[in-house]
Structure 1
Amino acid sequence: MSDTSKLQTPNSKLNLAERDKKVIWHPYTQMKNALPHIPIVRGEGVYIFDEDGKKYIDAVSSWWVNIHGHAHPYIAQKVAEQLNVLEHVIFAGFTHEPAVLLAERLLPVLPGKQEKVFYTDNGSTAVEVALKMCLQYWDNKGKPKTRILAFKNAYHGDTFGAMSVSGRSIFTDAFNSLLFDVDFIDLPDAENISDLISQISNLTSTACFIFEPLILGSGGMLMYEAKYLDELIAACRKAGILIIADEVMTGFGRTGTYFACEKLNHKPDIICLSKGLTGGTMPLGITTCTDEIFDAFLSEDKLKTLYHGHSFTANPIACVASLASLDILLQEETLANIKRIEAKHALFLEEIKAHARVKAVRQTGTIIAIEWETGNETSYLSNLRNLLYKFFLDKGIVLRPLGNIIYILPPYVISDTDLNYIYGAIKQALEEI
């Protein structure tokens, strides 16, 4: 029997931040000198509230996941109802209504001819599945291809396959010698597109091309044009290279359309989804594919099976949260809010683009990124990052800079008043920091 004497009651004399410091290891954080983590006790709409009652505008959607606002009553209602019906069931040999219904409703709104859904847990695992699908597709066909094409500065997750297809950076530095080789290319533009197409035409052992469409998120909110991505995809098709669109961040309205790949003429073979999928309620990942991909795994040969799965694959509660989020996303009001935020950002871009401290400002859909002029200091670890982070927190705004780059990526329910407050704080920071 377990030793229950080791179970302790939390020290009531300590606040939540102090208790946290004793037992928690936080992500992307040097715990040696980290500032106390802010204890959040509740959320409502675009706001989160700490234990002292201070209100913060969640201007980054809590790592890009919260698209409809915190504690959305409709999503909460649907999740609560499902908890009283079925919380989870093994998804090998069994199925359930929420998983089937989500696939039935999601596939028709995705770009291209996506026909099958494979469920996982998060964006990184969705990418892992996509890579395995492509590599095994060619192996099952008896034409093994082992190379992968990706963009420099890309970010696709923190598991080993996802790290391998991400640009080499501080996120991967300790593991670089263990990652598999990938062919990295520059983002396409008018000057280099011909050279990139020429490079692709010479590839003979490349299984797939994986990309974040239109925006490289963690790479610094780097943005590029759909027409050049279209040309790269066309070249890949000609070279027999499968196409993976990582829409983990860009999906569900972020780029102004429901999915970034809607802006492409050439659609992907595989799409990776997560983050906004559940409306930010809980983890869920999805990898979708065309019938051509799926059919390559149909065989009397058991070795041609896709041997991949997770304990919480297709969790019914997460699927119900996703269905509720999809209901809200497809409302006319939500699309109107997306267009409103997009227009507001565009006006703000024009207002600040000539400022002496603005090195660059770029926008796609509901995402706007401002790059601070810092001379040669542009690292993710720049001291400016901490100064900006604290400056905005003091003003009740959650903006998590990527080095010298700040960005606004808000829930769609954000008001014009709150957007104007954020814009005003950024203008003040440009003058003072």
Structure 2
Amino acid sequence: MTLQQRDKKHLWHPLKQHQTHPDSLGIVKAKGCILTDENGNEYIDAISSWYTCVFGHCNDFITSRVYHQMQTLDQIMFSDFTHEPAVTLSEELIKILPKNQNRIFFNDNGSTAVEAGIKMALQYYFNKGEKRNTFIAFENGFHGDTFGAMSVSGLSVYNGPFEDFLMDIKRIPVPNGKNNDAILIQLQEIIANNKVAGFIYEPLIQGAAGMKIYKAEDLDIILQTCKNNAILTIADEVMTGFGKTGNYFASDEISIKPDIMCLSKALTAGLVPMSITSCTEEIYTAFLSNDIAKGFFHCHTYSANPIACSAALASIELLQTHKIQENIQFIENANKLFAQKIESHPKVSSTRYKGVVLAIDLNTKSNRYGTLRDQLLQSFMSQGVFLRPLGNTIYIQPPYIITQEQLDKIYTSIQKVLDSL
């Protein structure tokens, strides 16, 4: 039996309706930018496997570091112990994070990084004797699938069955330069009528919403208002972090720095799961007390796993190399040229790009997991390219090591699909 056939017997896949989509393609090998299925077919991974494998799959530099770490220390509980990979990772991360970040808290994945950030904000005010129970978030934002992360997310396709159980969230539109004044009026009204603990946002690019891009200066206006009203700001950089927008972090481009940051995905270059919630020293200090209940009693069994830390250290080292920084610029330039080439295509309603991200909106209607999306996905796969459209938005977010030839194949596959619609 094939992997695809055996898979159906016991496995339950995420983001999938098994009644209508029972098959899952068996992948047996991944190296560089190429995925190989059990029939020997190859596919360019044009989205870095959900924005994780930014240095390519099974990167020799990273796997060698992890192999070395596996011979020394595999797993140790982080509540009572510390170790070299965690300490070194904290030192190296602080060097590249925005200057106000000074404390590192370890989690398991993007959702749990957000969950920890939300709990930090709520308990920060609780420890100070203030009860604040409301969060502000953008419309159509996505921050994860645990309950706190779901609460601040705004995509009902993911959250519909659970909406009656979620936290109190006030949503505001994403700024576009034209609606800034209206947003500020709405924001002031929310602040006046609610006890707001924090504002959470995906800086510069809303990923799951369809790679929607907005400007730093527009976000700064909102962040300044939050700062003026003692509302903690949480930057969800799970998708945008580690080079995706052209900077190490999207927050580097924004004048007002976040109080809390959520990091995952490219943190370990897709090799092993891990996430981090970082914060300012001021937030950390609010948890120091002779009262044990004021400590941050939130923990994951695999917090600061040494193997994951070693993968993250290797990833950060690669990110800072001249070669990788050059490649990120090369990808952005290539995306710009292709966007300009197809923006007048009759089937394209708009294009946008930033860093390694390119998004193309089709002038056809499609829900997130509708028939058109499935047709697009299959068409790309038949051409040897793995692209996973978000409704009627085609996007790419390739590994930083991708070649011109591979990029050209991605662009050609998109062009063919557009011409066939």
| Pairwise TM-score range, normalised by the shorter structure | over 0.9
The TM-score with structure 2 as length reference comes to 0.98
- Residue in 2 that maps onto 1:273: 263
Looking at structure 1, the residues matched to 249 and 116 of structure 2 have their Cα atoms a distance apart, in angstroms, of 20
**Contact persistence 1:42–1:49 (CA under 8 A):** yes
Give the counterpart letter for 1:110 in structure 2. L
Mapped to 2, the partners of 1:157 and 1:383 lie a distance apart of 25
Correspondence for 1:10: none
State which of 360, 365, 378 in structure 2 corresponds to 1:370: 360
- Is residue 225 of structure 1 aligned with residue 215 of structure 2? yes
The 5 Å alignment of 1:380-419 reads 380-419=368-407
Alpha-carbon deviations, 1:211-258, whole Å to 9, x = none? Answer: 000111011111111110011101111111111000000000000111
Report if the CA contact (8 A) 1:201-1:239 is conserved.
no
Secondary structure in 1 aligned to 2:233? strand
Distance in 2, Cα, partners of 1:285 & 1:123? 6
CA drift of 1:338 comes to 0.2
Match of 1:427 in 2: 415
* Residues 119 and 285, structure 1, Cα contact 8 Å, conserved in 2: yes
> What residue in structure 1 maps to residue 201 of structure 2?
211
Distance (Å, rounded) in 2 between the aligned partners of 1:220 and 1:169: 14
Indicate if the aligned counterparts of 1:233 and 1:266 stay in contact, CA closer than 8 A.
Answer: yes
**SS of alignment partner, residue 90 of structure 1:** coil
Structure 1: where are the runs of 5+ without partners?
1-13
Alignment of 1:19-34 (within 5 A): 19-34=6-21
Q: How many angstroms apart in 1 are the aligned matches of 2:320 and 2:164? A: 45
CA distance in 2, matches of 1:214, 1:362: 12
Aligned partner (choices 134, 141, 144) of residue 157 of structure 1: 144
Residues 50-199 of structure 1 mapped to structure 2, 5 A cutoff: 50-199=37-186
Is 1:294 the counterpart of 2:281 in the alignment? no
Counterparts of 2:415 and 2:60, CA distance in 1: 34
Give deviations 1:250-277, integer Å, cap 9, x for gaps. Answer: 0000001110011011100111000000
Identity of aligned residues (%): 45
* Inter-partner Cα distance in structure 2 for 1:416 and 1:314: 37
Contact 1:168/1:176 (CA < 8 Å) preserved in 2? no
Q: Does 1:327 align with 2:309?
A: no
Contact 1:112 1:268 in 2 (8 A): no
Q: Which amino acid aligns with 2:337?
A: L
Partner of 1:282: 272
Letter in 1 for 2:417: A
Instruction: Measure the CA separation in 2 of the matches of 1:168 and 1:77.
Output: 39
Return the offset for 1:61: 0.5
Displacement over 3 Å in runs of 4+: none
1:192-225 per-residue CA deviation (whole Å, 9 max, x = no partner) reads 1112222323404111110000111011111111
Tell me how far 1:378 sits from its aligned partner: 3.3
Say if 2:245 and 2:355, in contact at 8 Å, map to a contact too. yes
Q: Find the residue that maps to 1:170 and give its secondary structure.
A: helix
* Partner Cα distance (1:347, 1:191) in 2: 27
Q: Is the 8 A contact 2:142 2:209 kept in 1?
A: yes
Unaligned runs of 5+ in 2: none
CA contact (8 A) 2:380 2:413 kept: yes
Residue 35 of structure 1 and its aligned partner are, at CA, apart by 4.8
Output the TM-score relative to the length of structure 1: 0.95
